[in-house]
Structure 1
């Protein structure tokens, strides 16, 4: 008959092994078994040079009433992306925008002491079975894009969303804890943004769009058209016609956070391209975005330890 003390000892051994496996798993999914750092990781000189050739700290990330007047080159480029809308006076439109939404210089608190972590959560099927949910939710900011849901997928994608990047054609309702980050690809997008909180009369762009949206208008942020142009020119070297929302989200995170962790980008382990929430095949090399070039840049960011990319299981 096994003594009580031996049973207790066995329980302690089993618990210790289980705890060791758990801790190993947590470290492994972070990918930092040998060189984990918590914030502002030191880059080597080559990585610093590579980033400095692309990163412009002084660029306007968000629009406000003070920086909303666009120079001719930016206005001409931006309005060519998806077709210009009829608008009597763009200056008047900007004034109207910031009579409805917060008008300030957001996230201008960068300092050597700040340590803000961002999780940028893409929509790749490689998130299925990843169990990244708790790790994603442990970040200060959790940035999602377009229609990527959390309900029903919490174990793999997390449950918190602090910022969601959308445009009219990809808009979804969001709770009052989430910042609606508008990615404007045309003037009509800004008109639609006003409309969904006021008259609700715009329901058509180049396709049907939601005429209203559940969101907190006091948490609306609007990416500056010049920021999109800067990403296109500095980061993508004018490849494609303009950057995808996913790539914009990564560069956006680099500008507002000190540590950037990227999830849900790229193909699945069997090289399939689909969202984690559906099984429809997607052509990531088609359309106006330079898909392969964007993926190469994100891989380079990871290899140079500027971001940490989690590839799923």
Structure 2
């Protein structure tokens, strides 16, 4: 046999092996890539399931989660916009147990207005809860509860709205500052369960209404104590009422950390601090299962004024970042977290 034929017999059996080697490597790489993709996909599914479960458990355990209403503030939906902002663990009402402020909260809050008299915040809190109830409020949330709330602003769009009977049907009716009911019952209702105010906007409330202080400064807390005791504080940056008629057993104080939370989480630091109306709206999201909003925004002619006076104003011309507040309210409306009744 010639040398050439011997070489062919030696090489021929090896040719399939040489052809199969690159094919095997390619197939192995494909299987490895497919396996890796499968692992990543399963991990992403698991991660999303954990996040969803955490959010649902967080909401369920702290505020009761899903409620008995047709729609609930804390219902999970297909967007994380709400849960990126809504913090169910933030303290919304002050008491002695949550009264110690973090340093960042204290600096931001006391920076809103400079105090002329140096006072110790902790001493003021101790005095507050020797005069007013030191309680945990609204810890009764759960799947069997449906608490409906009407947040009633002071816009002129309430005039001739005939919303009064609808407003009064709500479990809680939360009014803001000086907005009166007498003489306006047909449009704004007559029921008030909570009135949120500060010293400069103080009014008398009846014995069944919660006076809810919105403290923008330490002196606001000192005024509240004075109004129910010595009545010696008659001025903040303007003259204020030395006293108010209210049931001291129903007094509540918005937590300073809650004000900062509304400013940072909901307003994304637009403006200098949130408006009373917007704070009230977010407060309602935390204590209510279903929120209906009345008396916010302009009249149909575009004018902005209170239903009880004719002085014109505009929501964007202030320290409150009103344009962004309005945008955020519209987003809550689109997500079905609130209903807005414009009166026209």
RMSD: 1.2
Q: Which has the higher contact order (CA 8 A, sep 6+)?
A: 1
CA offsets 1:7-27 (integer angstroms, 9 cap, x no match): xxxxxxxxxxxxxxxxxxxxx
Count of equivalent residues: 275
Mapped partners of 2:209, 2:116: distance in 1: 29
Unaligned runs of 5+ in 1: 1-36
Structure-1-length-normalised TM-score:
0.86
Task: Report which stretch shifted further, 190-199 or 83-92.
Answer: 83-92
Match of 1:292 in 2: 323
Q: For residues 211 and 257 of structure 1, do their structure 2 counterparts lie closer, same or farther at Cα, with a shift above 3 Å needed? A: same
Q: CA shift at 1:84, angstroms?
A: 2.8
Match of 2:158 in 1: 127
Mapped partners of 2:126, 2:159: distance in 1: 44
Asked whether 1:167 is paired with 2:198, we answer yes
Mapped partners of 2:306, 2:121: distance in 1: 37
Asked whether 1:101 is paired with 2:132, we answer yes
Matches within 5 A, 1:187-202: 187-202=218-233
SS of the residue 1:234 aligns to: helix
Mapped partners of 1:234, 1:88: distance in 2: 29
Match of 2:215 in 1: 184
Q: CA shift at 1:85, angstroms?
A: 4.6
Q: CA shift at 1:104, angstroms?
A: 1.0
Mapped partners of 1:97, 1:87: distance in 2: 17
CA offsets 1:207-256 (integer angstroms, 9 cap, x no match): 00000101111100000000000000000001101000000010000000
Contact 1:123 1:264 in 2 (8 A): yes
Contact 1:263 1:310 in 2 (8 A): yes
SS of the residue 1:45 aligns to: coil
Asked whether 1:40 is paired with 2:68, we answer no
Mapped partners of 1:94, 1:85: distance in 2: 18
From 293, 298, 302, the equivalent of 2:333 is 302
Larger radius of gyration: 2
Match of 1:81 in 2: 112
Matches within 5 A, 1:33-72: 38-40=70-72, 44-46=77-79, 49-72=80-103
Structure-2-length-normalised TM-score:
0.78
Mapped partners of 1:53, 1:84: distance in 2: 34
Q: CA shift at 1:89, angstroms?
A: 2.2
SS of the residue 2:204 aligns to: coil
Give the structure with the larger helix fraction: 2
SS of the residue 2:195 aligns to: strand
Unaligned runs of 5+ in 2: 1-68
